Amino acid sequence: MNVHDQRLLEILVQRNREAARLLDSIDSPEARACARQLERALDDLVIRNEAMPFLRASI
């Protein structure tokens, strides 16, 4: 992943974490559940992105 793509990914994750915080602030169990799912998906995305160079090297 080049530097530009990395920066775009960082912005995407940051903005979506902000959206998750807003969802979590809504007084609704469904909104909070959605916020938790979004946070988990973002965590998975970040972990996969960090692991990608190691996966490519092992091929």
With 0-12 CB in 10 A as exposed, 13-18 as middle and 19+ as buried, what is 15?
exposed
Q: What is the pLDDT of residue 1?
A: 67
List the domain boundaries for the chain. Answer: 3-58
Give pTM, 2 decimals: 0.77
CA distance linking residue 54 with residue 39, whole number of Å: 24
Chain centroid, CA 4 distance in Å: 17
| pLDDT digit string, tens, across residues 1-58 | 678 888 888 899 999 999 999 999 999 999 999 999 999 999 999 888 887 766 556 5
User: Cα–Cα distance between 59 and 56 in angstroms, integer?
Assistant: 5
d(CA 52, CA 6): 12
